[in-house]
Amino acid sequence: MPGVGVVRVLLVEDDEGDAFLVSELLSEDAAPVLIDVVTSVAAARQRLQQPGAVSYDCVLLDLGLPDAEGLDALHSVLEVADGAAVLCLTGLDDEHRGVAAAAAGAQDYLVKGQVDGQLLRRSIRYAIERKRADEQLRALYASELRAAENARLERGLLPHPEVADPSIGVTTRYRPGRDAVLGGDFYDVVETEDGTLFLLIGDVAGHGPDEAALGVSLRIAWRTLVLAGLERERLLPVLEDVLVRERRSEEVFATLCMVVVAPDRRSARVFLAGHPAPLLLGDAPEQLPDELVGPALGVLPGVVWGSRIVELEPGWRLMLFTDGIVEGHVGEGSERLGVPGLLGLAMQSPGYPDSGALVDDLIAKARELHGGDLSDDVAVVVVGHDAAVPQRTPAVPSTSGWT
């Protein structure tokens, strides 16, 4: 028998003679086999479902029982058999039942009158191993399916930036949290025809496919609205309307940071909905003002978000991030890294001022301080302006009205 230790078998057989024969055949095996006998499908279901029930390795099921026959009996047992293999027993004149049972989910079947001890023991062993292999294959398929679904959702959350201006560089990073379950972090970067640059980063509260799907909806809606030319002050209210209509409960909300950079690249307007303000990576990194931060989307429907203009020097760089990178702990206590800690890491980073090296170093240092993988997802977007590269001439004149 497979493995080491006792093999537990539940025999479902109403014929006393057949039950005795099976017990005798199994008793010849050198490996320890414990067999329990019940005489009906109802009794088998009760035995398999009772609190603290014995964990059986195999169920030997007669397909001709008083309370259920054939596939009805099999389906009834399979519903409660959990991880046990099911091996069916048929009469000489109804072998076709065994073939149908194997096709319907049983691991194998045996014909009464054609079974000796060696065949029975070998069949039970193979049935148990086949059940284990089936479960491993099913788990692998489910894992691959989840990975494929997560990959599709991740592509929706983390799109390719749409920027034509050669003076603008974009660096993005995303790292899943400790449980490696896709969360609701999302970002986007879009340049419109008049040269206005729209930056977005957000986080739907929670983890899992529902939150990720909502994040995809918000990101796609935002890009669509931007490309459709909706005025910037209307973007957050419309996104909140999308969230309220799409969320599965009133407890779901999303934080969001949006930055709208002027076509001349000399200023930006910052909108904050319950989200940390971006960092300005100059000679020394600093956080942009956040005194006008409003509530997260979905918390107070109908609220109007304020914004403020930030002047930008040539060669500026802005770093937008989700709170996963600043909510990690510092050491074993309750202290968290926070934005001040992130600024300190940026100032000390050997990767500064290279955007990619800097972000990779910040994420690595935050993980190191936390003592391993961060609990929450981390998304970071760095958008920089290269003053030495000629700016693209906008396809249409700007109508943004930067006042």
**Structural domains of the chain, with CATH:** 7-141 (3.40.50.2300), 158-385 (3.60.40.10)
Backbone angles phi, psi at 393, to 5 degrees: -75, 125
Instruction: Tell me the average pLDDT across 191-196.
Output: 95
pLDDT of amino acid 150: 61
Confidence of residue 375 (pLDDT cuts 50, 70, 90): confident
Which parts of 8-58 fold into alpha helices (H)? 16-27, 41-49
In whole angstroms, give the CA distance from residue 110 to residue 49.
25
Please state at what angle helix 95-104 crosses helix 70-78, rounded to 10 degrees: 30
Closest-CA residue to 10 (of 21, 23, 1): 23
Close Cβ partners of 370 (under 8 Å, ≥ 6 residues apart): 328, 329, 330, 337
Please say if the pLDDT value at position 152 is more than 80. no
Give percent of the chain above pLDDT 90.
48
Closest-CA residue to 374 (of 153, 179, 147): 179
pLDDT tens profile 248-296: 899 999 999 999 999 999 999 999 999 999 999 988 899 999 888 899 9
pTM exceeding 0.75? no
Q: What number of other Cβ atoms are within 10 A of residue 207's Cβ?
A: 20
Element (H, E) at 206: strand 197-207
Q: Which two tokens stand for residue 5?
A: 């230790």
Element (H, E) at 99: helix 95-104
Whether cis (ω within 30° of 0) applies to the bond prior to 353 is yes
Lowest mean pLDDT among 38-47, 134-143, 354-363: 134-143
Q: Which has more pLDDT, 197 or 160?
A: 197
Q: Which has more pLDDT, 321 or 25?
A: 321
